[in-house]
Structure 1
């Protein structure tokens, strides 16, 4: 009878010590959108011509793994704000849109990447309303953390 508590103690100790301690770290850091490079475009207060194609360029970074990004261009004729930048741009008078540009597109980033040079060709139709627009960049990492960069641009 004295062996039963001893055997239970040995069994419990063996069971506890055989369990692995998962110390997998949880990603709690937001990804980074970097538009500070000389070739980055657009940046705050950039101008883009109607009827032209321009190349979006930015660098994305994450501590673990990047996921995807999306780009959104929409009018700012009513002077609403999404800007994440300190610098403000000169704006035109408030106006009603007639044929505003609306561009929303999602892009994939290759698996396993922590740093990515993003580029995308975007066509500005010749017949869209000129004026103030927002250029939104949304970057999501594999864990689901999202960073937003809101730029004010002008379409001429």
Structure 2
């Protein structure tokens, strides 16, 4: 970043919240479609991985939750940290900027913005807690002028942008 709060690659950086201006924030609809595409991809890949592990070795029953919540969490974190986009986001032309307007989220940024997915690991009420968190994300994205959900703000101001 250059001095004065302007970065030629990312536009003007708001020193208060570390959010970039001059970029087009992605709306809720496009983000939801990208997330749905990613869930399908993660479910298929996770199922195949754990199915193959079951054939090769004896996988304990408690590991069966990982293809859902745990594997999905890892899927989003690995892709966001590696490239700034998951396959679903790439397909829809979206990109995740890290905190402070960095070109992609750090491991910490991505883990924080996706940690709500692990709520599904909580027995009995995890699905309900995840659903409440997802609704809260949708409401906060929709009501934010920068289209950032509570999970983006918790991660230091990550932002999903339209490329």
- After TM superposition, the score normalised by the length of structure 1 is 0.25
Higher strand content, 1 or 2 = 1
Find the structure with the greater CA-based Rg.
Answer: 1
Q: Which has the higher helix share?
A: 2
TM-score normalised according to structure 2 size: 0.24
